[in-house]
A = this chain, B = another copy of it.
Amino acid sequence: MSIVMINGGSRENGNTNLLSARAVHGLEVDIIQLDEYNISPIVDERHAEGGFSEVADDFMQVMDRVMEYDKIIFATPIYWYTMTGTMKQFIDRWSQAMREDRYHDLRERMARKKGYVIAVGGDSPYIKGLPLLQQFKYIFDFVHLPFEGYVLGQANKPGEIEQDKKALYSADLLNQTLKEDT
């Protein structure tokens, strides 16, 4: 099965990247570094006459790319106890995607994929990161994407994730799962 990883962080070689790299080590993965794309905030026109206006940015291109894969990994540093604003801007635009003709069957397609979350935070992520996981569950449920698992990690300074054995092991387990399911 093919894999895409959507990375919401902004720090090269950040802890989230290190942990994510471990989770997909030895696998072919299309990594989308969201901050390299121009993705505008959603303008909510769900109830506007004529619906959503077309937006001249990279969103649809990124979304199309994501939808090509069987497994979607959302990798995000935990900023202020939830996903980064960059990742949130991307997800917000799904409201628009779901109203596009080419995504009339988004849920049917998502239902056949598998979703994963990798999230690394510095301030007690094993407790204060739990609402984020609950939100990802709601998000996945809404689009019918099965929530197949998550990896939490605790780290602040560069490289610190290497101290979090539980996170490393969870990433290794995810790696194994992804490999067995290929």
Contact = CB atoms under 8 A, between A and B. Distances in A.
B80 A44 contact: no
Contacts of A44: 9-11, 14, 77, 79
Contacts of A47: 11, 157-158
Contact of A79 (B35, B81, B95, B137): B95
A92 B35 CA distance: 14
Interface stretch (A63-71, A107-115, A163-171): A163-171
> DSSP majority for the A interface?
helix
B127 A133 contact: yes
Q: How many copies does the complex hold?
A: 4
14 contacts: A10-B41, A11-B47, A35-B41, A41-B84, A41-B86, A47-B157, A80-B88, A80-B138, A80-B139, A85-B89, A89-B89, A123-B142, A126-B150, A169-B173
Interface of A: 9-11, 14, 35, 41-45, 47, 77, 79-86, 88-92, 94-95, 123, 126-128, 130-135, 137-139, 142, 147, 149-150, 157-158, 165-166, 169-170, 173
